[in-house]
Amino acid sequence: MDADEDGPAVFLNVYDLQDANRPEWITNLNWYLYSMGLGLYHSGIEVDGREYAFGGHDMEGTGVFENEPRQAYGAVFREALPLGKSKHRSQEIPRIIEELAMEFSGVSYNLFTR
């Protein structure tokens, strides 16, 4: 890519996790914890109109998944943090996601380290 070409904009989308039985309690807790730089969050990377995230499960296969931008299931959208422009063209993004999907299996997910 030439230095004067821009790739697609990239955002870190941040969500409050949500308890299905008491949907507001984590959101309320996060508003309090946010001031201390803490909270119970989910995040996804939005690039070129698609959002990708990583999560765990007990089955073989990837833990990388796609959802509608700013619409994560089981979470309430909080904010989008702009990360700049990708150094890759839009056409390259699906290949990169495929490579990451092979590396990040659902069983390898760890809340604290991966």
What distances in angstroms separate CA 29 from CA 35, 36, 43, 73, 112, one per listed residue?
A: 11, 12, 17, 19, 20
Is 114 a domain residue? no
Is 113 a domain residue? no
Q: Which residues of 87-110 are buried (b: 16+ CB within 10 A; e: fewer)?
A: ebeeeebeeebeeebeebbbeeee
Is 4 a domain residue? no
Give the pairing of strands 9-17 and 75-85.
Answer: antiparallel
Q: Mean pLDDT, to the nearest integer, of 86-91?
A: 96
| 26-78 residue pLDDT tens | 888 988 998 899 998 999 999 999 999 999 998 889 999 999 999 999 898 99
pLDDT at 26: 86
Residue with tokens 């998944």: 65
Is 15 a domain residue? yes
Is 2 a domain residue? no
Q: What is the residue range of 77's domain?
A: 9-108
Q: Which of 61, 63, 72 is nearest to 110 (CA)?
A: 63
Q: Is the pLDDT of residue 91 over 60?
A: yes
Count of domains observed in the chain: 1
Is 3 a domain residue? no
pLDDT at 110: 85
Is 37 a domain residue? yes
pLDDT at 62: 96
| 16-38 residue pLDDT tens | 988 888 878 888 898 899 889 99
Q: Mean pLDDT, to the nearest integer, of 86-100?
A: 96
Is residue 13 within 8 Å of residue 83, measured between CB atoms?
Answer: no
Q: How confident is the model at residue 5 (pLDDT cuts 50, 70, 90)?
A: low
